[in-house]
């Protein structure tokens, strides 16, 4: 009887381990494994109406920040991201802020608080992008750091801190 329990226990343990492994494999973000062709193949409009091909940003380190004008932590972190960009653009860093918001609200906000880095209008497409990049619940703000090769190096859901940006800058 003890031998039978041991065999059943071993089979149950192996099945549980296999199930956990499959669950992890299915939930891993595609972008970590060599780049996300959907992200890099996308094109978004800028607030001025000019199309921005995301592939044009590949080849240098890139910080992508998903934000909205109605999101207080998003608005609070944008000056910090602006400072990061100013301090690191000479080292090749790029920044793209993808607004998950109404285009008119974004344009009005940018008139009051201009940014020197690229801004794109994401809308529903931007929400789906953030989910593909690991933001399962679609919360904001959400930031992703890409290597020059287009692979995800870091991500954070929630407001950025100077320590986050400093750590990411040292990775490039």
Q: Are residues 154 and 125 in the same domain?
A: yes
Q: Are residues 104 and 41 in the same domain?
A: yes
Amino acid 3: pLDDT: 65
Amino acid 9: pLDDT: 53
Nearest one of 165, 159, 135, 142 to 76, comparing CA atoms = 159
Amino acid 36: pLDDT: 81
pLDDT in tens, 12-37: 444 444 444 434 433 444 434 447 88
- With 60 as the cut, is the pLDDT of residue 149 above it? yes
Q: Are residues 139 and 67 in the same domain?
A: yes
123: left (phi over 0), alpha (psi -120 to 50) or beta: left
Q: Are residues 23 and 42 in the same domain?
A: no
- With 90 as the cut, is the pLDDT of residue 105 above it? yes
pTM of the model: 0.80
Q: Are residues 2 and 43 in the same domain?
A: no
Q: Are residues 73 and 122 in the same domain?
A: yes
Q: Are residues 26 and 68 in the same domain?
A: no
Residues 6+ apart with CB under 8 A from 73: 140, 141, 158, 159
Residues 6+ apart with CB under 8 A from 135: 66, 142, 155, 157
Q: Are residues 20 and 43 in the same domain?
A: no
- DSSP lists the bridge partners of residue 98 as 66, 120
Amino acid 29: pLDDT: 43
Question: CATH no. for residue 92?
Answer: 3.40.30.10
pLDDT band of residue 1 (cuts 50, 70, 90) is low
Q: Are residues 25 and 46 in the same domain?
A: no
Contact in structure between 63 and 96 (CB atoms under 8 Å): yes
Number of domains, the chain: 2
Q: Are residues 117 and 138 in the same domain?
A: yes
Amino acid 32: pLDDT: 40
Q: Are residues 124 and 69 in the same domain?
A: yes
Domain residues for the domain of 132 are: 34-171
Q: Are residues 87 and 140 in the same domain?
A: yes
Amino acid 28: pLDDT: 43
- With 50 as the cut, is the pLDDT of residue 128 above it? yes
Amino acid 171: pLDDT: 81
């Amino acid at each position: 009887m003890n031998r039978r329990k041991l065999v059943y226990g071993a089979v149950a343990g192996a099945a549980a381990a296999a199930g956990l492994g499959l669950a992890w494999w299915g939930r891993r973000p595609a972008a970590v494994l060599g780049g996300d062709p959907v992200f890099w193949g996308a094109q978004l409009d800028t607030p001025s109406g000019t199309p921005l091909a995301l592939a044009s940003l590949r080849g240098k380190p890139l910080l992508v920040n998903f934000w909205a004008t109605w999101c207080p932590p998003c608005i609070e972190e944008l000056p910090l991201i602006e400072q990061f960009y100013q301090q690191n653009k000479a080292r090749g860093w790029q920044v793209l802020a993808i607004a998950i918001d109404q285009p008119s609200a974004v344009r009005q906000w940018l008139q009051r608080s201009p940014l020197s880095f690229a801004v794109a209008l994401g809308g529903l497409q931007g929400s789906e992008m953030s989910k593909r990049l690991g933001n399962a619940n679609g919360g904001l703000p959400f930031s992703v750091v890409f290597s020059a090769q287009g692979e995800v190096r870091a991500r954070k859901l929630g407001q950025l801190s100077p320590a986050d940006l400093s750590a990411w800058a040292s990775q490039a």
